[in-house]
Amino acid sequence: MKIEEYISELLYEHDCVIVPDFGGFVCNYAPARIDPVKHLFEPPGKKILFNKGLTRNDGLLAHYISGKFKLSYSQALETISKEVKRYKDDIQKDKRLTLDNIGLLYLDEKGSLLFQQDNKLNYLAESFGLSTFYHLPVEQGKAENEAKVIPIYNERKKSRTYLAAAVISALVVSAFCFTMLEKQTNMRFSSLNFFPKREATQYAFSPTTYKELPKPVAEDFKVTIVTPITPAPANTAVSAPHNTTTAVAVSSASFTVILGSFSVKEHADNLISEFSKQNIQLSIVGRTRGGLYMVGYGKFSSHSTAEAERENFLKFVKDAWILAD
């Protein structure tokens, strides 16, 4: 029995799977990212690490195998023990061990056990259906040449040309006839209104219209998502949450929703420009101790109002937080 198959299944729902007397596979959230050199786009996922110090049995793997094959708990532990012995023998013999869909364990020159993750599977359930892809930039000038459309003359276009010519001829003849009739009868046709104006229908803009929003999920990276946005009140904000590195003194009520922090100002400007296309105004509200440019949305007089706006982004922009000033 290859227990790596069941370790893989457990990694979808758990952030740590311990193999007794061998080690533990620990998952950490990895946000979506863009590699500007390789032009590689990667969705959010789980980064798997191997900790050889986690050898104490927590019962998770044994109970899973026991329930899957209707074995007793002791039988499941015996099965795991046999596989662990095989793992250790393979590592000592070949200096490496491949676990399907999980990764590669190998010994370096100093005899230390190292782990390399297999990226074929994305263990983050929220990213189901998303895949990694490359998107090469279009060379300037080349796109203009490729965008040229060569018209094809066919029978349908020929018929449209004849129809347009007939309509123009009819209008010219009508204008001539009206002119002659006006001279003979002294009637003023210019006062006749053949095409009365119609009132333009007014449509009210809904403040919850869905907007296409770039998601700054990590430093210098962003992902485009779709989420409802409401207009931001004209107040100011800012109080970094406890898990950020920004140190801000909290004073009177003023709050801003922070959507991203960037080490390169150009990247922050790009995010502001993307939102501006959707009539959503962002701005650089300051810099962190580490020198990151913070891009903020809205100014609010109360924390509850800012929190309500943050929740609009929270479903897809998981790193949005509130900065209080």
Q: Is residue 159 part of a domain?
A: no
pLDDT at 251: 45
User: Among 134, 160, 180, where does a domain finish?
Assistant: 134
Q: What is the 3-state secondary structure (H, E, C) of 48-115?
A: EEEECCCCCCCCHHHHHHHHHHCCCHHHHHHHHHHHHHHHHHHHHHHCEEEECCCEEEEECCCCCEEE
> Which whole number is the average pLDDT over 277-285?
84
pLDDT tens across 30-58, in order? 888 787 777 777 788 889 999 999 999 99
Q: What CATH number is associated with residue 283? A: 3.30.70.1070
- Looking at the structure, tell me whether residues 214 and 129 fall in a common domain: no
Q: Is residue 110 part of a domain?
A: yes
Q: What is the 3-state secondary structure (H, E, C) of 236-269?
A: CCCCCCCCCCCCCCCCCCCEEEEEEEECCHHHHH
- Looking at the structure, tell me whether residues 115 and 215 fall in a common domain: no
- Looking at the structure, tell me whether residues 250 and 130 fall in a common domain: no
Q: Is residue 198 part of a domain?
A: no
- Quote the mean pLDDT of the chain: 74
Q: Is residue 99 part of a domain?
A: yes
Q: Is residue 253 part of a domain?
A: yes
- Looking at the structure, tell me whether residues 128 and 218 fall in a common domain: no
- What percentage of the chain carries pLDDT values higher than 70? 68
Domain total of the chain: 2
User: Among 134, 159, 181, where does a domain finish?
Assistant: 134
pLDDT tens across 147-164, in order? 555 554 455 556 677 777
pLDDT at 41: 77
Q: Is residue 187 part of a domain?
A: no
User: Among 134, 168, 193, where does a domain finish?
Assistant: 134
- Looking at the structure, tell me whether residues 17 and 119 fall in a common domain: yes
Q: Is residue 182 part of a domain?
A: no
pLDDT tens across 76-132, in order? 999 999 999 999 999 999 889 999 999 999 998 888 899 999 888 888 877 776 777
Q: Is residue 27 part of a domain?
A: yes
- Looking at the structure, tell me whether residues 113 and 215 fall in a common domain: no
The residue segments making up the domain with residue 287 are 210-324
